[in-house]
Structure 1
């Protein structure tokens, strides 16, 4: 009974924290709501959850990819689904921007979710909102916290490869660059640390050898054993093995938890940008807190991802509701 009471109290605390941030978030968030589709599509959430769950059951790492899609979308002109648009002979999207081309995946799963939702609620749900729901469901399926998702976004009719290259910091970023990137979209250092560095889900997922080769070979501020282990799968300089993968969190690579912060305290961050969060700077205290307290991490992650979901959302008559997430209507 005590365990149930504690769980209920924590759930209420998370919900309360998220609602507080709703009240003080960006002005666009005033037009988003938790019950936006309650009447128009009451089967929305179970439909999305079933499709996402099946995709992650087939490939556990897909949950990290789907969460990353939401981050990379929101950091480029807001949470508008622009990352989903395909290139055409007359249109250049964001998928082939340098931070995205070898990093973001899961577009086929988004297609499957969109198809399933269109089958029960045609022409109602935006692709931008689907990304937000998919991100939440992915976290929950991987063992992370649940949170209420604010909805009511509309889809962009345009995209910007240049903005993607400019807005999304690379894995070589120092802490100053990371903080600046977050501030540019109205987020703070707590949001940065809660997103586990480089605003990717680095508590889960994999990274390519090309992203961490320089870090494990040339830096001294890294755990020696981790560096030696990662060199085995990432040999040499300018190797043909650029696409070899390694887990971002070697302790629990397919579970959404707080262990990546423990790794940082032990100098075991796989990416330079990750370890920057624990490097004698202003983020150290938060990394230490999250390394000790999964409750604190879950709570702050929920608040921060809710705030991020408010970034420059298209609402009202702006944008459109795409019938196909890969192209404008």
Structure 2
């Protein structure tokens, strides 16, 4: 049972479940057959946030989270991580709740808990970001996968500020995450790509059209986010997934990259729903075990020293190696970032 202070925090900070519905957000995909399924995901995040923001201790939060069905449990952990990151920030950086969650019961959901921290970032001033990721030296994928927090930040911007970050295509100012400010907008775009799948109700036509309205230089990262969301969250038929793959065209390796990351996250958490296995097969031509093998095989950098890539985050190096698997199996000419060959970049980004 939450304390009085916990109940007050929940009342002030926790959003209503209706606030994340497609109708209230006025998303174009509100009438999609997949709407109810997709709405359940942010609602699970809200529930996890409510439990995390009000709870007296980690035991209470864990007990509640474990009652959530396996397919949705990771999303509830997202919300709890978001809440703990906010509470730690409110404690002046002295809080340890996030670390205890990520090293404890949240460990199998580490990919999603990082995303949850990104949701907290969207609600906190940037000076508080400096210590928002706790030291997780003993945790797998630390610090490589902390970029998923930036992905989560991008998703939140697109989901809750759609006009600004989707319609107007604004880009937040760079931030030196892991010492790589130039990569920050790319990781944000990966989250925006995930959001486009939700905003458009898992409709492949609407999602592809939404991606293609962005500047060409941004589309590769958007497509990887679409692939991750379509695989992890689902909502589309086999025929629709096949059409989505076709729509990606020469950027199909980016779509496949998102598939591999989604399957890796699902298997690491111990539950792969049927829709994820279907997406792996249709979007990437992979079984679940094959997708995991690709993720594991490419995790360690076996490419040797490459001075041209020394400034890339380890996260992007891993992504590049996964993309290379798909680039080698497609006849479409693409560069190492999955882009069609083109002239100098003329996009001219406006920073929000």
Category of TM-score, reference length = shorter chain = 0.3 to 0.5
- Greater RCO structure (CA 8 Å; 6+ sep): 1
The structure whose residues are more often helix, as a share, is 2
